[in-house]
Structure 1
Amino acid sequence: MLRMGSPAPSIKVGDWLRGEPLADFQPGKVYIVEFWATWCELCAAEMLELMQLQEKYKDSGLEVVGIAADEDAPTAVEGRTKLDAWLAEKCHLTHRIAFDFTGEMKKLWREPSFCVRIPTSFVVDRDGCIAFIGHPSQLGEVLPKVLNGSWSTSKKAKAADHERIATSEPLAREQALKKPMDDRFWAAVKLEDWKTALWAIEEGIALMPDDLNFRLAHAHLLLHKTQDMWTGLPVMRQLVRDAIDRNSEDWMVSALDQLFHPANDHSRLPPAERFAMGKELSEHILALNPPQGDSPKFRSYPAVARYYHENGNNDRAIELVEVALTSLDGPEPIPAELKEQHLPHLLQALAKYRGARACCGALFAAAQNNFPKVPKRGRPRRKDREG
């Protein structure tokens, strides 16, 4: 097990994309080893903050090392191409960045520490030992104490590490159980072998019936790939029912996307039942996260707006997208990178529903479904996503 106080593993990567290669951790220095990926919207937001931390504490011996070990690409060459394009866009980043496609860094760092999600930060202290493992949002509190030597001896540090392991170990073991099924599923998807993909997902559901990703993949394969409505509609009904019973915004939005996302073909779905499920999901989402509340709206409201737009209530769709846009500058701070990712899509939706150009600062979207010229972002990771 890799935990607070453990000697830091070595860094074994295929390529160094920014900065000089790091062979060993130098005594007397403190390092942040950050695992991230271009498709992870939270990671993109954190990268700038990590660079700012390095600049702030460089005289205290801090160095940041970014490890891209989760690129969503079939080959190392394609993964490297994605990274190079992303980094060319982020020319202001100055800290070391490495690329590992072999999985070696996962084996050395993430698996022994039960870290299945990204972004994840490891802080290595001046003695070359692990001082902290966790989300980079916690570094503002932790890092100054690591730098002055007071963190590792504090009761708070020990309690935090104990809680992290207690929480992460079951999730890591669950991910290990899922991996063979995930691998078979994605190999079948690549070949468009939907029968084999279904077998893999049904095996996963039998093992973990409450796993949202398995449940979504099951509905998606039946409704949108094999177009088996006889089997798929009962699966979709149960997904909607379970999402509502859980009162989970994530589950409800995911189910709504299966019914109304424009990337899916809904032509074979019975319209009356499709809209009935959409109405129930939308009403529950709005009750859970009402327009007048302070909770972020930019993730869930676009899905609800799509339902109202298709159902003929265009004014309601416009209203919801406008609320989502306002929530980007709400009382809960949203990282600039995250705002930059969601803003163009919200503007495009608003322009579509208004039938007129929509603007926000220098960004705009035209009514004819044209996306504004903005930097390309990664899509959600098929696994190991930030929760």
Structure 2
Amino acid sequence: MVLHMESPAPPIKVENWLRGEPLTSFQPGKVYIVEFWATWCGPCAAVMPHLVQLQEKYKDSGLELLGVAAYEQAPTADEARTSLDTWLTDKFSNLNYRIGFDSTGEMSKLWMDSSFSVGIPTSFVVDRDGHIAFIGPPMQLDDVLPKVLNGSWRTSDEAKAADTERIEAGRREMDKMTRERALTEPILAAMKAEDWAKAVSAVEEAVAVMPDNLNFRVRHADLLLHKLRNMQTGLPVMRQFARDAIDKNNELWMEEALRQLFNPANDNSHFPSAERLAMGKELSEHILALNPPHRDGGLKYLTYGAVAQYYYESGNKDRAIELVEVALNSLGGPEPIPDELKQHVTPPLVEALANYKGDKACHESLCATPQRGFARASKRRQRSKQKKEG
């Protein structure tokens, strides 16, 4: 059964209340916001201060807000709960609304899945009679909430049209996710068995069905270029991947294409050097044009590592160092970055900086020393390149 506007609100199934008094049911006459979120979700963390403001602003109008952490990532529920509690203490010590924790997936199934909601943060507004008034991103609450509170929202054509559109979009997204999972399973099975030819066949079927799926395009290039090392088939695939990424003007697509060419973890010696550098130059220049070093924001901490590696391997060590330092500085920029993501992207950047400098490098409390053989390997490639071009 589809959960939509006018549906009775599902029950509250929360294992632990980490903040605020426990809530077992919705009280008549009050309006509730049920907010699904997670500590690793950047937009979730970014919107929390505003939710605090909404709770304060409308508390005398009968508003109560409860956040539901249903997607925490940890080996056990106890570890997830402890990590969540620590995060809340560190980030939001004066939180003015309830936080519940559910590791069973029951809340997600009752609320998110049944409403075709596929991402977080997602807000559910429960009206004074216990029925759903709104489902959608919390950024829309400024406009919707006052209308819910004064009783005008659910009868409006705007509300009905928005809910119909939301359900249709959610159905399409869920269908897409179902297709993607079905296409991914045989690829992963073949890769686990290290049957690279079978994996290529499966991924080519997936690309034919979903050509704009970045994960499939990355796997296709990686299998051909780095598992089978098949340049005859792999190079045309790589050229098309790079061209599509540039045509889309999409920073993540271009970064993934660039990483296929300049990931230092791969042995790229079988690539034609001139073509690899030419593709790297074009991709890097497009990334820097789309997200310049002097401009705040963007995904520098995700994309500049691959760009820096291109410049290092092309012989411009100073530019490589500069770009890695920009990427590290962007981690403290104006846009909130989840701690989990920060912990994931920082070590490789610091290691790259140490490798490029040939000396110890530090960022905040994290330090790294050059990897043995990294600088020498790069110099050999440069000497080989100079001989070929000379």
Q: Flag whether TM exceeds 0.5 (same fold).
A: yes
- When normalised by structure 2's length, the TM-score is 0.74
Letter in 2 for 1:312: G
Letter in 2 for 1:90: L
Letter in 2 for 1:18: L
> Equivalents in 2 of 1:3, 1:89: separation in Å?
32
Q: How far is the alpha carbon of 1:252 from its aligned partner? A: 0.9
Letter in 1 for 2:308: A
1:306 aligns with 2:309: yes
Contact map agreement 2:81 2:101 (CA 8 A) in 1: no
Q: Cα deviation per residue 1:81-102 (whole Å; 9 max; x = unaligned)?
A: 3453343343336632222445
Please give the residue correspondences for 1:196-235 in structure 2 after superposition, counting only pairs within 5 Å. 198=200, 200-225=202-227, 231-235=233-237
Q: How far is the alpha carbon of 1:307 from its aligned partner? A: 2.0
Bigger mean CA deviation after superposition, 285-294 or 170-179: 285-294
> Equivalents in 2 of 1:168, 1:111: separation in Å?
10
- Cα distance change, pair 295–166 in 1 and its aligned pair in 2 (3 A): farther
The answer for the alignment partner of 1:143 in structure 2 is: 145
1:319 to 319, 322, 331: 322
Contact map agreement 1:229 1:268 (CA 8 A) in 2: no
Please list every run of 5 or more consecutive structure 2 residues that lacks an aligned counterpart in the other structure. Answer: 372-390
The answer for the alignment partner of 2:26 in structure 1 is: 25
The answer for the alignment partner of 2:335 in structure 1 is: 334
> Equivalents in 1 of 2:195, 2:146: separation in Å?
52
> Equivalents in 1 of 2:322, 2:215: separation in Å?
30
Please give the residue correspondences for 1:136-175 in structure 2 after superposition, counting only pairs within 5 Å. 136-175=138-177
Q: Cα deviation per residue 1:155-201 (whole Å; 9 max; x = unaligned)?
A: 54444434434544322221122232345555666x56555655553
The answer for the alignment partner of 2:129 in structure 1 is: 127
1:41 aligns with 2:42: yes
Q: Cα deviation per residue 1:229-286 (whole Å; 9 max; x = unaligned)?
A: 5544443232112112222222112222333345x42345416143332212111222
Q: How far is the alpha carbon of 1:137 from its aligned partner? A: 2.9
Please list every run of 5 or more consecutive structure 1 residues that lacks an aligned counterpart in the other structure. Answer: 371-387
> Equivalents in 1 of 2:138, 2:41: separation in Å?
13
- Cα distance change, pair 285–52 in 1 and its aligned pair in 2 (3 A): same
Contact map agreement 1:219 1:235 (CA 8 A) in 2: yes
Please give the residue correspondences for 1:348-359 in structure 2 after superposition, counting only pairs within 5 Å. 348=350, 351-352=353-354, 353-354=356-357, 355=359, 357-358=361-362
Letter in 2 for 1:87: D
> Equivalents in 2 of 1:135, 1:242: separation in Å?
31
2:280 to 278, 301, 306: 278
The answer for the alignment partner of 1:113 in structure 2 is: 115
> Equivalents in 1 of 2:271, 2:76: separation in Å?
40
* DSSP-derived class of the 1:123 partner: strand
The answer for the alignment partner of 2:290 in structure 1 is: 288
> Equivalents in 2 of 1:78, 1:200: separation in Å?
34
Q: RMSD in angstroms over aligned alpha carbons?
A: 3.8
The answer for the alignment partner of 2:11 in structure 1 is: 10
* DSSP-derived class of the 1:5 partner: coil
- How many residue pairs end up in the alignment? 357
Contact map agreement 1:124 1:131 (CA 8 A) in 2: yes
Higher relative contact order (Cα pairs below 8 Å, separated by 6+ residues): 1
Letter in 1 for 2:26: F
- Cα distance change, pair 210–337 in 1 and its aligned pair in 2 (3 A): closer
- Cα distance change, pair 117–182 in 1 and its aligned pair in 2 (3 A): farther
1:251 to 247, 250, 253: 253
Q: Which has the higher helix share?
A: 2
- Cα distance change, pair 193–31 in 1 and its aligned pair in 2 (3 A): farther
> Equivalents in 2 of 1:367, 1:67: separation in Å?
35
- When normalised by structure 1's length, the TM-score is 0.74
* DSSP-derived class of the 2:120 partner: coil
> Equivalents in 2 of 1:101, 1:129: separation in Å?
24
1:81 to 64, 79, 82: 79
Contact map agreement 2:305 2:349 (CA 8 A) in 1: no
Contact map agreement 1:347 1:365 (CA 8 A) in 2: no
The answer for the alignment partner of 2:377 in structure 1 is: none
